[in-house]
Each structure stands twice: as C-alpha cells, then as structure tokens.
A and B are shown apart, each in its own frame.
Chain A
C-alpha cells in the first residue's frame, strides 16, 4: 500500500520559514494536499492541488510537489501556526495521509 512519510517534528523561530516535507514513491505524479490540526480541533485544509490555498488561508502558506517529495512552506511563521500538519494524497481509490509533523514555534 502507498505510504507518505513526514518528519515527526519541525522547530522554527517566529518570523522565520518552516518547511515540512512529505515523501512518497513518485508523489510528484499525484496531487498533494495539506491539513493543519491544532490541539482538540478538527483538521483544516491549508493547501490543495499541490500549490493552491483555500479562501481564508494566509498567503504565508505555500506548497510544492516534485519527484518523490511534496513540501509545505510557512513563511514568516507566527505563534498561531503551531500545530500538527498532515500531507495527503489519493492512490488507487484510497486516501493516504502522511505520518504527521508537529510544528513548534520557539
């Protein structure tokens, strides 16, 4: 079955850039999405179709996808961005989520 791997944690200072990777076999041939989940809350879509932001998502969130890796980038990270982030792809009529990355804003 298809698997997506993320680093367990990423630390970033306020105002700096955080990059979260998501690795999967030929992931670049699929579309990747990203979700943000804060403690006790439901996931929120922050990036879809590799690079697109839903309305209401700040411009500091951006995405890319090529080769075997999709990347979520948070530019000018704010304290409110501290959360768990999950990538997601679709493969053979099933959804696959990444292992999740906890972003800590120090």
Chain B
C-alpha cells in the first residue's frame, strides 16, 4: 500500500524557517517524481515544487522561488521542503504528492495527509 506521511509542520514566526519531511513507503520511491502542494485555510490547492526521481530536475512556483528548497533522499525514501523567509501567507497545509507522467499527461495519484504550517508572531 502506498503511503506518504508528512511531518515537520508547526508554528513559526514571520521570517523564520522550517523543514518539512515526507516519508514514503509501499512503492519504489526512487522511480517517481515527487511534489509539494499546499492549501491555505479555506482556500484552494496551490502547487509548490517538484523534484524528479534523481533530483536532476527541480521546479518551483514563482512565489516560492528563492525561499523554498525541495530535496530528496532516495536511500531514506524521503522528500523534504526547506522553507525560509516565511510569511503569513505561507500558512497552509502542505501535502506531499506522488506524480505520474505519461505522454504529456501529468497528475498526482497519491497524496499524504498533510502537515500544517502556521506563520504568525
């Protein structure tokens, strides 16, 4: 059974930093591109970042560039998101999601339960 379990969320002050983790199991982690997607309270889904299976290709949403860093450790079956210079508008539930790509089709077939990040003084 595919499982994605996020951790590392919490309360952080504006300007602070936080590192999120996602532990994967039930599939060959090293064979998949992984993503972070967030959802602010009462709002819609917003894609954050993606990292290819070997970390060769990394992409960020424009509003996260320069502040967030995605990484992975295939030996530990883990995905990470290092967040810095956090702002109130970064307050959200952060989901880890597995990407499937096939013939120009890209989508997320499994999602974690999410971890809440609250940026507040």
Which residues of A are in contact with B by a Cβ distance under 8 Å?
A: 1, 30-31, 33, 35, 37, 42-45, 48-49, 54, 86, 88, 90, 93-100
Contacts and interface: CB of A to CB of B under 8 A. Distances in A.
Contacts of A88: 45, 107-108
Given A30-B104, A43-B95, A99-B44, 9 more contacts: A31-B105, A35-B45, A35-B108, A42-B113, A49-B105, A88-B108, A90-B106, A94-B61, A96-B47
Given A49-B102, A49-B105, A95 B50 contact: yes
B50 to A, nearest CB: 7
Instruction: For the complex of A and B, list the 3 residue pairs with the smallest distance between their C-beta atoms, beginning with the closest.
Output: A95-B47, A90-B106, A33-B107
Contact of A42 (B47, B57, B61, B112): B112
B111 A44 contact: yes
A42 B114 contact: yes
Interface of B: 35, 37, 44-47, 50, 57, 59, 61-62, 95, 100, 102, 104-109, 111-114
A31 B106 contact: yes
Contacts of A97: 37, 44-47
Nearest to A93: B59
A49 to B, nearest CB: 5
Given A31-B104, A42-B113, A45-B107, A1 B62 contact: yes
A8 to B, nearest CB: 10
14 contacts: A31-B104, A31-B107, A33-B107, A35-B45, A35-B108, A37-B45, A42-B114, A45-B108, A45-B109, A48-B107, A86-B44, A88-B108, A94-B59, A100-B45
Contacts of B61: 94
B95 A42 contact: yes
Contacts of A99: 44
B34 to A, nearest CB: 12
A100 B62 contact: no
A86 B108 CA distance: 12
A6 B112 CA distance: 25
A96 B59 CA distance: 13
Nearest to B112: A42
